[in-house]
Structure 1
């Protein structure tokens, strides 16, 4: 398992660069569609997309994406939750 510092270095601290494209795989559904998040420049800013598996693979290849690991996805969720729900101790 990667340390949180390593996850942050790879996914967050690279600066905004439009040549970097990220995919966070969410689910391969029973109907053959893939749900995933796609971002350009910063994995914290993404759109949710759904497409058939074959098109998903072509999309990832054409965009030369960086596939986020499960640890990186969890770190994104953690960072988002701090903004959404606040961080204990900041207002106490």
Structure 2
């Protein structure tokens, strides 16, 4: 049985804390697979997560399929070369 889309559910996947104090993370509404990449100061990130009532996700609860060419993040473009 497929779970119904629920816009009340909010998900966050922590990506990294940068040296300048900003936190990179993915934020999703309803489905963790459809997300926006976001960046906030650490204190704002903590407030954001609390106010949104997020469910934290990680590799165990929602793995990234590295072998899937369609599964990439904007941040990947800064580290990988995309050949034609």
TM-score, with normalisation over the residues of structure 2?
Answer: 0.73
- After TM superposition, where is structure 1 displaced by more than 4 Å over at least 4 residues in a row? none
Contact 1:15 1:42 (C-alpha < 8 Å) held by counterparts = no
- Which consecutive residues of structure 2, in runs of 5 or more, have no partner in the other structure? 72-84
Equivalent residue in structure 2 for 1:63, among 41, 52, 73: 52
Between Structure 1 and Structure 2, the one with more helix by share is 1
Q: 2:13·2:58 contact (CA, 8 Å) conserved in 1?
A: yes
In the alignment, which residue of structure 2 is the partner of 1:89?
A: none
Q: 1:24, 1:38 within 8 Å by CA — same for their partners in 2?
A: yes
User: Does 1:43 pair with 2:32?
Assistant: yes
Structure 1 counterpart SS, 2:65:
helix
* 1:3-82 paired onto structure 2 within 5 Å: 14-74=3-63, 77-78=64-65, 81=68
Q: Normalising by the residue count of structure 1, what TM-score does the alignment of the two structures yield?
A: 0.67
Which segments of 5 or more consecutive residues in structure 1 lack a partner in the other structure? 1-12, 86-92
